[in-house]
Chains A and B, each alone.
Chain A
Amino acid sequence: MAYFLQQLINGLTLGSIFGLIAIGYTMVYGIIGMVNFAHGDIFMIGGFVTLIAFMVLGLSGITWVPLALLLMLVIAMAFTALHGWAVERLAYRPLRSSGRLAPLISAIGMSIFLQNYVQIMQGARNKAVGQPLISGGITVMESDGFTVQLGYMQIVIVVLTVVLMVGFTLLITGTALGRNQRACEQDMRMARLLGVDVDRTISLTFVMGAALAAVAGMVWLLYYGIIDFYVGFLAGIKAFSAAVLGGIGSLPGAMLGGLLIGLIEVFWSAYFSAEYKDVAAFAVLVLALVFRPTGLLGKPEIEKV
């Protein structure tokens, strides 16, 4: 029971990270119908920017944890969002009217480019945070000599995710930007005719997705204490699986899918085999697509002929 509870906590933490990345996939897919293959690498860049910010802040003597955390968050979000914006502007916007295949290939190229850019700039080796920024935790229960730990970092992650989700939902449902976004989702041409600045709306979608991915990258770095240029590939695919599982295009779906993927992965490694934990995520993706292509919270699509 205690072991189970511990895995549940770990799974929810990991799931929150996947959920944050998944939102970027789901929003972009919702609005322009493409799989932003480079999104996982945007997440990775978020992690690297956080690490650099962390070290620069350390050098400049800002060590009060809440302030450092806040500054890191802001810096990571800002710079990563700029990367997200640039990727859309350079690699996707020119291809907006070229079918489905060309943007996907361009996105794969972008993903390879970003990975190698970071590898060249920062080196191929793992980068580690010297010492954990937030350590310790609450002992939830103890039984059979097994201690269930709820780390402070885990609390920060879940709280941060919940706050961002709420803020984000308010943004989408309550502002003109959210309205424009939904209008573009439904019918881009009509939205343009009605005076919605489609390019700007799409750009902002990428910016928001990248900002959330940056948060995920930061959280990932602080949680695991380590990052490398390749981390975005697997995390990105798992987050995409989460978006599909939850129903692509649906924000709560992305979060739900993320939590499920996180839980599946953690429980799989805890109870079956850690070696095959990545297989679990892929298997879920395949099963979800085959048996329920619309996902858990997605709307069914009626084929029009």
Chain B
Amino acid sequence: MVAVAQQTAARPAMSLPAMVKDAAIFAAVAFTLALPLLGFRIQDKGSTSFIETRFGDLFYAVLVLFIAKLLMSLINAGLARPIALVTGVLSLGWIVVALVNPVAPQYQVHTWFTWLVVASVAIRAWVVWRAEATAARGVVAGVIGGQDSHGTQIGHLVARLGRQLGPVFFLIALVMPFYAYFADDKRLVDLGVLIFTYIMLGWGLNVVVGLAGLLDLGYVAFYAVGAYTYAVFSVKLGLNFWETLPVAGLMAASFGVLLGFPVLRLRGDYLAIVTLGFGEIIRIILLNWAELAGGAQGIGGIPRPSFFGLQFAPSAPEGQTTFAQFFNLDYSPFHRQMWLYYIILLLALITNWFTLRVRKLPIGRAWEALREDETACRALGINPTNTKLTAFAIGAMFGGFAGSFFATRQGFISPESFNFLESAIILAIVVLGGMGSQIGVVIATIVLIGGPEWFRDLELYRMLAFGGLMVLIMIWRPQGLLAHREPTITMNGGRAGARAK
């Protein structure tokens, strides 16, 4: 970002007419681009459809973009500071207004769009302003290295914070359900369960993508295998959650090996497409396999987990006690939510412990080495196929665990829950967090899953923002948000030690 700003700052400033012309060309392109799909809308009324125009919206959007482009040029022409101040105040002020006084829904799209554009201008102006200020002070920041060292600094800082604040976060995560219980905020626990499910999936996929560098676009297949294994075993054979969990993990891992074996020698992007294909194949099979998987209807009536044999129910059948009765509490659906929360917290922590531990073992180092250079690995006697297979199988296993949990939490599963988008979301969490970074996964999950949950009203725009965010973060930081890696073993007391010498 800094590097970009400096490059553009170094560009000769344009004259005002040139700026207007530039912005006009930009607006014209934007207009043409948006004309068919924004300018017209196909409406259906019964069996006939007709076309509707939205030129007002179109002109408004183009006008905003024209002004924004003009401002961008002015930023580069030395007006970074005033523009940063004005747009910054505007965009921050609007957030305050929106929080205090929720905007009427019909204006939301326009205002959100405008706010987004203004905020982007503000960020750009601020970055250029800072770069100029630094340059004025005579500090020569590395133009090429600027971006990376900046990112490494952030990564370093977050890694250190993570180590120090980790226990604090853990404690917060531990007592959060109790807070929610007394505050009677059921949504908070639900959100916690959702976030930890994705954190676990992210950590599981991190083994495959982050450590071993295998781009898996079909991770949801293993999630599905775990969920269906649990559903079938518990519904048809009556096994309980803890009995089925290892079976589900094992099943998913076997699928990982089965799928991985023929395709793991493929190049990165081919592997991605083939895994995507496998994910879809599994989904289509589940969709059409009526006898075992229930076809499109899925499987319902999946047993919910019990607390060491105590059911979470308003009343127990003859000869059994419920959780509430046993602890002499009034029945509340909250109890089960809390128990589910602790189960997924435990599963996620096991995943994390395993990953952190295995990184320091030969197999984990071999994964990372494979990601760096497969040819060199072969020359060092590492069997690439087996090493990749273990990564694939272990990642699949954690996906299977998470799937079992999903099934018991929902009580109902159908193939629709396991589509490509789900894979894409999990992959986005891993990649945007910074591949291989465990804390990155947590941060990315909170941003990508938790964030949109707070903006429920904008449901429709959630995935749009999601896709856009993926592109933007990749452009801004191709290595992910936290592209920082600590060595798994040190000789001189780590990098700091080496630097001190």
Contacts and interface: CB of A to CB of B under 8 A. Distances in A.
Within the complex, are A and B direct neighbours (CB within 8 Å)? yes
Interface of A: 34-35, 45, 48-49, 51-53, 55-56, 59, 75, 79, 82-83, 86, 90-91, 94-95, 98-106, 108-123, 125, 127-128, 130, 233, 237, 240-241, 244, 273, 275-276, 278-279, 282-283, 285-286, 289-290, 293, 305
A299 B48 CA distance: 51
Chain A binding surface SS class: helix
A95 B274 CA distance: 23
Given A130-B48, A233-B420, A289-B270, A108 B280 contact: no
A289 B470 CA distance: 28
A94 B475 contact: yes
Contacts of B38: 121
A116 B470 contact: no
A137 B7 CA distance: 61
B59 interface: no
B469 A109 contact: yes
A86 B29 CA distance: 9
Contact of A286 (B278, B285, B466): B278
A123 B52 CA distance: 13
A79 B460 contact: no
A118 B37 contact: yes
Q: Interface residues of B toward A: which range?
A: 35 or more
B33 A82 contact: yes
B313 to A, nearest CB: 38
A286 B421 CA distance: 21
B468 A109 contact: yes
B277 interface: yes
Given A108-B470, A122-B41, A237 B280 contact: yes
B463 A49 contact: no
B420 A104 contact: no
Nearest to B423: A108
Contact of B273 (A59, A75, A79, A237): A237
Given A52-B36, A117-B37, A289-B274, A102 B280 contact: no
Contacts of A233: 420
Nearest to B213: A101
Interface string B215-229: 101000000000000
B266 interface: yes
A55 B375 contact: no
A7 B241 CA distance: 49
Interface string B448-488: 00000000000011011011111100110011000000000
B382 to A, nearest CB: 15
A293 to B, nearest CB: 7
Closest 9 CB pairs of A and B: A109-B470, A112-B467, A113-B467, A282-B277, A98-B478, A102-B478, A116-B464, A109-B471, A106-B474
Nearest to A51: B42
A55 B32 CA distance: 18
Interface string B388-422: 00000000000000000000000000000000110
Interface string B268-281: 11101110111011
Interface in B131-174: none
Contact of B263 (A110, A278, A286): A286
A109 B41 contact: no
Nearest to B476: A94
Interface stretch (B86-94, B114-122, B330-338, B424-432): B424-432
B208 to A, nearest CB: 13
B41 A100 contact: no
B467 A45 contact: no
Contacts of B470: 105-106, 108-109, 112-113
Nearest to A34: B269
Interface in B182-199: none
A243 to B, nearest CB: 10
Contacts of A121: 37-38, 41
Interface in B24-73: 29, 32-33, 35-38, 40-44, 48-51
